[in-house]
Amino acid sequence: MALTRDDVLHIARLARIALDEAEVERFRAQLSGILDHFQALAAVDTEGVEPTAHPLPLANVMREDAVQPSLPRDEVLANAPLAEDGYFRVRAVLE
């Protein structure tokens, strides 16, 4: 499964990771090599086999819809790179 340079740039954009030129080529080669090893799965007969998302047969674990304390806002914001007036601060989303 040979990925192209454009494939890698597309994946990196979806994952929001900036790559330099050397990284694009290195990841292109490495990811292509890894995907090659996955090709054997295509030959496995999975006709009528249900997918497993989770190893335990659990569904809809419920609890009472009761209000519970959350973490104090100032303690949470203490780890924020930039906070202002009790909010996280970011750069402009829209130009």
Query: Rule CB under 8 A: which residues touch another protein?
Result: 3, 7-8, 10-12, 14-19, 23, 27, 30-31, 33-35, 37-38, 40-42, 44, 46, 49-56, 58, 61, 63, 71-72, 75-76, 78-82, 88, 90-93, 95
Give the separation between CA 73 and CA 67, rounded to whole angstroms: 16
The nearest distance, CB 71 to another protein, in angstroms, is: 5
Task: Count CB atoms within 10 A of the CB of residue 88.
Answer: 11
- Alpha carbons within 13 A on the beta-carbon side of 38: 7
Smallest separation (angstroms) from another protein to the CB of 6: 13
DSSP state, residue 42: G
